[in-house]
Amino acid sequence: QTVVTQEPSFSVSPGGTVTLTCGLSSGSVSTNYYPTWYRQTPGRAPRTLIYSTTSRSSGVPDRFSGSILGNKAALTITGAQTDDESDYYCVLYMGSYWVFGGGTKLTVL
């Protein structure tokens, strides 16, 4: 069973830059997995940030960017703001199904 890995938690200072990653328990993430990133605050539905590795969803500020870093997909947030404090999830396409990572709880302080 494929496991998608994310850092359980991360902390960043206001105004700082943070990179969250999305890997595979076995193998490397490439654009062929169409890595997609979501942000979720408590009690709310997820919101799409980045799709297909690097494409920013409508209305998402350019402080959010996606890439492949080494063997993982990455979400970079520059100029972190206090309201960026959320859970961040990645999802990878496995050919006929999708697998989410366990999520990263981002703290901004």
**Footprint on this chain of other proteins (rule: CB under 8 A):** 1, 34, 36, 38, 40, 45-48, 51-52, 57, 87, 89, 91, 93, 96-103
Shortest distance in whole angstroms from residue 24 CB to other proteins: 16
The DSSP element (H or E) to which 100 belongs, if any, is strand 98-100
Nearest distance, CB of residue 13 and other proteins, angstroms:
26
In angstroms, give the least distance from the CB of 89 to other proteins: 5
β-strand 36-40 against 18-24: which pairing, if any?
unpaired
Count of CB atoms situated within 10 Å of the CB of 4 = 22
